[in-house]
Amino acid sequence: MKTTAILEDEFHHDGKGPSLERAIWSHGGIILKGFEYYNPEDANLEEKIKNIALIGLEAFSMAVEDVHGNNLITEDSAAAIFKIDDSPWLKQFNPAHMDGCSHYQLVFCSEIYDVICRDVKAGSGRLLNDEMQVVKSD
């Protein structure tokens, strides 16, 4: 399996991945939109919160780190998010719906999310605003 570490400066580990503050859902908890998290050095300070937006999400799975069985974190990179270039999981889906999509693995401190989407975007601050709406970003 060929993987590419991405967003190393924005989403990284120190042996364990970032701390997941919350997953962001839309449509009454049906569609996963992204995550709010703290990197290991952020000390869970509100002004340090960061986010990952999932663009064009088609599929996802989540498992706790202890049972996942395929944690991609290595000592070669501080990245905790990976693009899986030749994903057998992605190939299981109907290709008509997967045009332009890639398989990404996000390794949080206790959970690992595998997602199939068009892109992942990193940002700072909350992904969800006070009105419970996903914040639009460029």
- Whether the Cβ atoms of residue 102 and residue 83 lie closer than 8 Å to each other: yes
Task: Report in angstroms the alpha-carbon separations of 133 from 14, 61, 66, 136.
Answer: 32, 23, 32, 9
- The per-residue pLDDT for 108 is 93
- The per-residue pLDDT for 96 is 85
Q: What is the pTM of this model?
A: 0.87
Please tell me the distance from the alpha carbon of residue 5 to that of residue 21, in angstroms, as a whole number: 22
Chain segment 8-38, per-residue pLDDT in tens = 999 998 878 899 999 999 888 888 999 999 9
Please tell me the distance from the alpha carbon of residue 125 to that of residue 55, in angstroms, as a whole number: 17
Residues of the chain with pLDDT under 50: 130-131, 138
- The per-residue pLDDT for 71 is 62
- The per-residue pLDDT for 79 is 83
CA atoms within 13 A on the CB side of 118: 6
* DSSP single-letter state for residue 84: E
- Whether the Cβ atoms of residue 34 and residue 46 lie closer than 8 Å to each other: no
